Structures are given as structure tokens and as C-alpha cells.
């Protein structure tokens, strides 16, 4: 039998757990979580496919949303990332970062929160899964 003290303790623990759960927001595709942060796990290392398709589709493909932006691939601590920065301020804050660490891919930045965000998300999902093309 559970005493009334233990019942109150369990009730308080349940309330605390519910409050903490409200602080955690899932990130990922399908509109879950923050609109300016995505995280994916690929079946295999998607680095080359993602980096090449970003360059080909978003910058060589003359997409209007990327007209005032520059593509800056870099390697930091042995894992690549692509920075999408304003062409007028190449050392400024990125509008989008695609960070690839093995099979983990994270994309974040204010560009995801724009009307272009759903297309960027769809493109990244396709390229991370091994697809190609714009």
C-alpha cells in the first residue's frame, strides 16, 4: 500500500516531469520543433552528396532565394559544414549552416524560417537519403 506522503511525492514528480517535457522541443522534418533548426540521421555518410547538391542546385542553378548569398564550404575538426552567407558581408552571420558529422546532419539559421524553408528542408531530406537533383 502506498502512503499519502508517497502519493503526494509521486504526484509532484509527475507534475515536474510534465513541466520538463514542455521545455524540450523535438527537432526535425515535418514542421516539428523550431523552424530554424533541423536534425537528421543518415543511413550512410551523406557529405559528398549534400555538399555537391547544395552547390549545384542552390547556387549554380540560379535560384532567386540564393541570389544575394555565397556558398562557403569548410571543414572544421574533420567534419564539413556549408555556410550560406550574405555576399555583401561574407564574414557576417550565416543565413544557413549545414553541419555534417558522419551520419548526423544539422541545418540551422534564419533562412529555414523563411518561405524558402520548406524547399530547403525537402532538398536536404532528399540529398541526405542519397538522392540528387534539384
Calculate the average pLDDT of the chain: 78
Q: What are phi and psi of 14, to 5 degrees?
A: -65, -40
Q: What is the pLDDT of residue 15?
A: 33
pLDDT at 45 over 60: yes
In sequence order, the 6+-apart residues with CB closer than 8 A to the CB of 56 are 134
Q: What is the pLDDT of residue 1?
A: 54
In this structure, what is the dihedral angle of CA atoms 122, 56, 82, 106, given to the nearest 10 degrees? 20
Q: How far apart are CA 54 and CA 133, in angstroms?
A: 10
In sequence order, the 6+-apart residues with CB closer than 8 A to the CB of 76 are none
Q: What is the pTM of this model?
A: 0.72
Using alpha carbons only, what angle is made at residue 92 by residues 62 and 84, rounded to the nearest 5 degrees? 30
The secondary structure of the chain in percent helix, strand, coil, rounded to multiples of 5, reads: 40, 25, 35
Amino acid at each position: 500500500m502506498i502512503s499519502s506522503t508517497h502519493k503526494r511525492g509521486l504526484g509532484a514528480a509527475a507534475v515536474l516531469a510534465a513541466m520538463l517535457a514542455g521545455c524540450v522541443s523535438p527537432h526535425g522534418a515535418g514542421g516539428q520543433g523550431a523552424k530554424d533548426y533541423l536534425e537528421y540521421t543518415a543511413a550512410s555518410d551523406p557529405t559528398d552528396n549534400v555538399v555537391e547538391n547544395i552547390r549545384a542546385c542552390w547556387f549554380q542553378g540560379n535560384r532567386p532565394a540564393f541570389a544575394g548569398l555565397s556558398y562557403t564550404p569548410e571543414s572544421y575538426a574533420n567534419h564539413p559544414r556549408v555556410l550560406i552567407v550574405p555576399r555583401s558581408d561574407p564574414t557576417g552571420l550565416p543565413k544557413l549552416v549545414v553541419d555534417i558529422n558522419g551520419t548526423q546532419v544539422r541545418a540551422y539559421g534564419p533562412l529555414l524560417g523563411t518561405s524558402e524553408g520548406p524547399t530547403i528542408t525537402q532538398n536536404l531530406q532528399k540529398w541526405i537519403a542519397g538522392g540528387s537533383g534539384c
